[in-house]
Amino acid sequence: MNICGDGKPDTTGHNAEQCDLGTGNGQTAACSKQCTTAACGDGIIETGEQCDNGTANADNADCTVACKVNVCGDGKKDTAGQHTEQCDDGALNGNGTDACSGVCTTIHCGNGVTEVGEQCDAGANNSNSGDCLPTCKLNKCGDGKQDTTGTNVEACDDNNQSNTDDCLATCVVATCGDGFTDGKTGPKFEECDDGAANGTETCPYNTSCFVCSATCTTVAGPTSKCGDGTIDAGQEFCDDFASNGCGACSASCGEATSTAATGLLVVVGGGDLTDGETFTLDDGFNAPVIFEYDNNAAIGTDHVAVAFTAGQSAHAVALATAAAIGLAPSLNITGVANAGAAITLTNARKSSAGNVAIALSSSNLSAVGMSGGQGGSCVATTTCKVNDDCLSGVCSGTPKKCQ
């Protein structure tokens, strides 16, 4: 029996063959394995063909009339096959001016493909509250469209780049402490906003000013000045509350000035003294004390005797005078005789109250002071820090006051 593949073309029998090349069937386009003359459109995919759907071959189907697979970019719009195309303009696809994209879809916003002229395209998810707007533009801070469902969520978006209203240029809701003053009339209105400094600012030394509170309102700022009892570093050496200088600190708080009054008494030798001559010392706190030079054991009432003889030197008289001062009751002044005729006098209290002149009864004696005492003169109820501030010498209580 003559069969396809035996190399003998059957041209007259019931199983007529168009050709038969034996083992060469299907190896070239000359003869197919079915002993038919190979041709595109015969429904058999033969050498040189990508596909062959026979009479179904068409340029708008999956297999073209040239037995080539219809692909995007070949210029043949597949509308009837399984891989339909919305368009196909061949080499023009996706060139930026053509209406057909590189994947053979008609370019338009909302098709889910980011195409020329579009920043994004989320298809059905395009919205004014998502990352991609219905115009296929990216939802950005300041465009007036609040992104609430996308990956770049915005707390607000008021269509501007201002930092002086309820919504900042970063699309964050304005709050007190963000460093931007919300001047828009409304519940979020702020008079000021200094960020982390709110509620912590102070006025420059010895001045008044306005600062921003923790609630973003303008308030009078804390001040620091001489007399407030706090030593301001770099500005003050001391501060004892009493800014008038009555205490142990100067009126300008520039230096500690609590000092004792001092004086100098110069005497003469016994031969030049007259019995009954006096000098008076007043420490500023107790009753004045009158000292009387005595060479006959007779002195005035309440006077303190300074015994002398006519033959004593001036230095001997100075020593006797210093000794008498040291023995005087209720006198806060000490006397030290120098090498000559002078006695150095020092008040035991550091106070301007001790600046009381030495009184002399005759010109035989000479004196300087008492003077130079500073501080220690604050009266009762004056705020103080230490005992030396007070005229009474006592600073106590809560808060501390001169007694």
Phi-psi region of 231 (alpha: psi -120 to 50; beta: other; left: phi over 0): beta
pLDDT in tens, 241-293: 766 778 878 788 887 778 999 999 999 999 999 999 999 999 999 999 999 99
pLDDT at 149 over 70: yes
The answer on pLDDT for 7 being more than 80 is no
Q: What is the pLDDT of residues 289-312, one digit of tens each?
A: 999 999 999 999 999 999 999 999
> Torsion over CA of 161, 165, 170 and 176, rounded to 10 degrees?
150
Reduced 3-state DSSP string for 263-326: EEEECCCHHHCCCCCEEEECCCCCCCEEEEEECCCCCCCCCEEEECCCCCCHHHHHHHHHHHHH
Alpha carbons 147 and 129: distance in angstroms, whole number: 4
- How far apart are alpha carbons 260 and 247 in whole angstroms? 13
The amino acid that residue 132 corresponds to is: C
Q: pTM, whole model, 2 decimals?
A: 0.50
Q: Which residue has the tokens 């620091």?
A: 224
Give the residue-averaged pLDDT of 61-81: 95
Average confidence score pLDDT of the chain: 91
Higher pLDDT, 51 or 12: 51
Sequence-ordered list of residues with C-beta below 8 angstroms from that of 323, at least 6 positions apart, any chain = none
- Reported as a single tens digit per residue, the pLDDT across 18-33 is 888 888 877 666 787 7
Q: What is the pLDDT of residue 348?
A: 93
Q: What is the distance between the alpha carbons of residues 373 and 307, in angstroms, rounded to a whole number?
A: 30
Reported as a pLDDT band with limits 50, 70 and 90, residue 340 is: very high
What are the domain boundaries of the chain?
Answer: 262-371
Measured CA to CA, the distance from residue 101 to residue 12 in angstroms comes to 56
pLDDT of residue 13: 74
Fold of 262-371: Immunoglobulin-like (2.60.40)
Q: Return the H-helix or E-strand segment holding 327.
A: helix 314-327
pLDDT of residue 243: 65
Rounded Cα distance between 88 and 77, Å, is 5
- CA pair distance 362, 280, nearest whole angstrom: 12
Average pLDDT over residues 110-125: 89
Strands 289-294 and 366-371: unpaired
Instruction: Say what the pLDDT of residue 343 is.
Output: 98
Distances (CA, A) of 345 to 188, 264, 322, 337, 355: 72, 6, 9, 9, 12
Cα(217)–Cα(317) distance, integer angstroms = 76
